[in-house]
Amino acid sequence: MEQIERVVILSVSSFITYFLGGWSILLTALITLNALDYATGLTANWRKRSSYKAFRGGIKKGIMWMWVGVSNLIYLILLELGYDAGEVLPNFVTLYFIILEIISLEENSKKLGLDMPTPLSFFVEKLKEIFNKSTGGNMK
């Protein structure tokens, strides 16, 4: 029975790693920010806390990871068709979600009475500029 559990865990983790295109520092940053955002969201909304909101927040995090995986699949399809675009698409999608998570952390932090430190705020603005310039997006 223990052997079956190991095989299942190995199979699932291998599939997830393949789906996400391997593991990178961007994915490490994203999962760390997901956990921090979820925790600060629960803390910032302590009085208004509901299981529905917490469940919905978890679903949103799952959908975020789904889009990271889908962007990697699109990259793999393009690679198979002969378009060597590098890992630009999955990295930009991950960076987009990292920026959103940092913004959400800032909002939760403000609810708790602490503003984002100025150097970090400057860094986030620069990330937004780089993202908008590189993708033609309009992240505010």
What is the distance between the alpha carbons of residues 117 and 59, in angstroms, rounded to a whole number? 29
Residues in the chain, how many?
A: 140
Question: Which whole number is the average pLDDT over 59-65?
Answer: 93
Question: Which whole number is the average pLDDT over 19-31?
Answer: 87
What is the distance between the alpha carbons of residues 16 and 19, in angstroms, rounded to a whole number? 5
pLDDT at 48 over 90: no
**With bands split at pLDDT 50, 70 and 90, how would you rate the model's confidence at 49?**
low
Domain positions in the chain: 23-135
For 11, other C-beta atoms within 10 Å of its C-beta total 10
- For the entire predicted model, the pTM comes to 0.78
pLDDT of residue 130: 77
How much of the chain exceeds pLDDT 90, in percent? 24
Closest Cα partner for 22 from 34, 14, 32, 11? 14
